[in-house]
Amino acid sequence: MFDHAAYDRLKARFARIATLSEAGAMLGWDAAALMPPGGAVARGDQLAVLAGVAHALVTAPEVAEDLDAAEVAAEGAGTAGDPWEAANLRLMRREHARATALPADLVEAEARANSACEKIWREARAAADFSMVAPSLKIVLGLVRERAAALSERLGLSPYDALMDLYQPGMLTADVQGLFDRYETFLATALPRVEERQRKSPPPIRLSGNFPADTQETLCRRLAERAGLDFNHARLDRSLHPFCSGTPSDVRITMRYDESDPVQAMMAVLHETGHALYERGLPDAWARQPVGAASGMAAHESQSLILEMQACRSDPFLGWLSTELVSVFNGAGPAWAPSNLARLWRRVERGFIRVDADEMTYPAHVIMRFRLEQAMVRGALSVDDLPGAWAEELNRLLGIVPPDDSRGCLQDIHWYEGMFGYFPAYTLGAMAAAQLMAAARAAVPELDRALAKGDLAPLTHWLHAHVHAHGSRLDFNELLTEATGRKLDPAAFEAHLTSRYLS
């Protein structure tokens, strides 16, 4: 333990900062799920003030003094120091370095601009008209570039790496580019082979009928509970875009429902439940401390994708789910058979929408965004030219061109909320999920037998012990190395896709 008053003061301060962040998360959830449109301006002000107060707390002069003093005490403790305490102090220093690189007025300006742009984006997306939101996005991008430049100078990273470091520390552009180049090569040969294989197989039969939203919601709640989500500490609500937010003790999931097709909501709730279980499984002893948070967004995405893609689209689980769906929706006939559900829900198809993409083409959507946002951050791509660049890059990767802006550069909320550098986490998470699933199957021989009974507990218990409980004591590659024996290796993802789609 660090026997030093400075460290105790830091813990108290960072707990207050985390509590402000929790309040901001709840305001953000409310804005997406419940807030009337007329509340947007006031909500933007509220979020900006919270961001400003949190920034002032972390950048106060006494924080630097306490960090210096605590680090001296830590060095004196030597090998007797607690690794959790040491990691917490290291992460405090990291947060302080990032925060002190940014002027307070920039932090508040970004919060206001992001809130205003996100509201206009919703209207522009509905109208499929990028020109409606382009002026606001220019403001957001200008502020993002200011932030990137300031962080770059302080952290000794490139501007884009400084942005990406916020979402997945330790992964740099060069690392990601190498992984993505390898996957693009894999996709170029694997995708045509899968498409040819599908042409020779019976086409999937769509589930027909009416699937009331309320019935879907009840089923989604049951699936989340089956995965282990405790609704004494969680809510399931509705919004335009499914997401998971809140706090470890008060998780908020939102869904959208299509009454002609229950698939999207079912798989989306399993995806978001993976995020929720990670938050719920974080170490209670380190709540509201930097070390008690998740180990980055790629780690977070691995938890959602191992549940949705690896486990719940597997043959064993689909066998159980088929019976469940027949019971809930009074289904009958070959459309409800597990083999058809597999063809239906694991169909590989070149499409325009990232969130609807299959697991083989999904990385192409991420690779495209990774390249476009880098170009925007360094000034090589203007906002006005974004729709055309989007169409050109999607055509190069998947051979298709979006017919309108809503199925093009308006489909995602991220850039309109100032989230540049986030997208790589999705595919890094998919690769990590495959690697973790292979390790879980090796460690838990009964895993597939449990999935065939709709029992996700053996998997989620393994994930809790090997991922959730570590918080951010370990970085992404350290976490994977401890759980699987090696750092991120795309070979596991390629092997998974080859086994599922080409064998």
SS3 state at 456? coil
Residues in a beta bridge with 237: 254
Span 228-250, mean pLDDT? 93
Whether residue 164 is contained in a domain is answered as: no
Given this model, what pLDDT does residue 77 score? 61
For 178-189, what is each residue's pLDDT tens digit? 999 999 999 999
Whether 79 has a pLDDT exceeding 70, the answer reads no
Short-list 414, 336, 379, CA closest to 121? 414
Give the span between the Cα atoms of 89 and 9, in whole angstroms. Answer: 12
Short-list 142, 139, 112, CA closest to 52? 112
State the CATH number of the domain containing residue 413.
1.10.1370.30
Whether 199 has a pLDDT exceeding 50, the answer reads yes
For 109-164, what is each residue's pLDDT tens digit? 999 999 899 999 999 999 999 999 999 999 999 999 999 999 999 999 999 999 99
Span 28-33, mean pLDDT? 90
> Are residues 138 and 231 both part of a single domain?
no
Number of separate helices (H) and strands (E) present in the chain: 20, 3
> Are residues 100 and 240 both part of a single domain?
no
> Are residues 61 and 195 both part of a single domain?
no
Whether 30 has a pLDDT exceeding 90, the answer reads yes
Span 240-244, mean pLDDT? 86
Span 185-208, mean pLDDT? 96
Short-list 255, 257, 267, 259, CA closest to 211? 259
Whether residue 57 is contained in a domain is answered as: yes
Backbone angles phi, psi at 36, to 5 degrees: -70, 155
Question: Per this entry, what is the length of the chain?
Answer: 503
Mean pLDDT of the chain: 95
- Confidence class for position 327, pLDDT limits 50, 70, 90: very high
Whether residue 398 is contained in a domain is answered as: yes
> Residue 149 class from Cβ within 10 Å (0-12 exposed, 13-18 middle, 19+ buried)?
middle
Q: Which amino acid is at 446?
A: E
Give the span between the Cα atoms of 369 and 385, in whole angstroms. Answer: 14
Give 238's DSSP letter.
E
* H or E stretch covering 243: strand 243-247
Give the span between the Cα atoms of 309 and 111, in whole angstroms. Answer: 34
Given this model, what pLDDT does residue 256 score? 92
Given this model, what pLDDT does residue 44 score? 86
> Are residues 341 and 397 both part of a single domain?
yes
The CA–CA distances, whole Å, from 313 to 192, 217, 224, 332, 500 equal 22, 19, 15, 21, 10
Backbone angles phi, psi at 169, to 5 degrees: -55, 140
Buried residues in 286-312 as b, exposed as e (16+ CB within 10 A)? bebbbbbbbbbbbbbbbbbbbbbbbbb
> Are residues 262 and 369 both part of a single domain?
yes
Whether residue 169 is contained in a domain is answered as: no
Give the span between the Cα atoms of 107 and 315, in whole angstroms. Answer: 48
Query: 76 is in which domain, residue-wise?
Result: 5-156
> Are residues 444 and 309 both part of a single domain?
yes
> Are residues 107 and 220 both part of a single domain?
no
Given this model, what pLDDT does residue 264 score? 87
Span 322-331, mean pLDDT? 95
- Confidence class for position 393, pLDDT limits 50, 70, 90: very high
For 251-289, what is each residue's pLDDT tens digit? 999 999 999 999 889 999 999 999 999 999 999 999 999
Q: Residue 19's CB: how many other CB atoms inside 10 A? A: 13
* H or E stretch covering 103: none
- Confidence class for position 471, pLDDT limits 50, 70, 90: very high
Global pTM? Answer: 0.94
> Pick the residue with more confidence: 2 or 97?
97
Whether 387 has a pLDDT exceeding 70, the answer reads yes
Give the span between the Cα atoms of 459 and 314, in whole angstroms. Answer: 13
For 297-322, what is each residue's pLDDT tens digit? 999 999 999 999 999 999 999 999 99
Give the span between the Cα atoms of 360 and 357, in whole angstroms. Answer: 8
> Are residues 139 and 213 both part of a single domain?
no
Residue 335, C-beta contacts closer than 8 angstroms, at least 6 positions apart: 205, 206, 207, 208
Q: Which of 124, 156, 188 is the last residue of a domain?
A: 156
Give the span between the Cα atoms of 118 and 44, in whole angstroms. Answer: 10
Q: How far is CA 319 from the centre of its chain?
A: 28
110: left (phi over 0), alpha (psi -120 to 50) or beta: alpha
Q: What total number of domains does the chain contain?
A: 2
Whether residue 167 is contained in a domain is answered as: no
For 220-236, what is each residue's pLDDT tens digit? 999 999 999 999 999 99
Give the span between the Cα atoms of 417 and 120, in whole angstroms. Answer: 11
The CA–CA distances, whole Å, from 233 to 230, 251, 274, 281, 465 equal 6, 6, 15, 12, 20
> Are residues 216 and 152 both part of a single domain?
no
Q: Which of 105, 121, 156 is the last residue of a domain?
A: 156
Residues in a beta bridge with 245: 252
The CA–CA distances, whole Å, from 500 to 120, 185, 276, 303, 417 equal 41, 19, 27, 20, 36
Q: Which amino acid is at 151?
A: L
Given this model, what pLDDT does residue 1 score? 46
421: left (phi over 0), alpha (psi -120 to 50) or beta: left
Q: Which two tokens stand for residue 128?
A: 């499929």
Task: Give 26's Cβ-side CA count (13 Å radius).
Answer: 13
> Pick the residue with more confidence: 305 or 48?
305
Given this model, what pLDDT does residue 80 score? 52
Write out the catalytic residue numbers: 272
Residue 232, C-beta contacts closer than 8 angstroms, at least 6 positions apart: none
Q: Which of 156, 184, 207 is the last residue of a domain?
A: 156
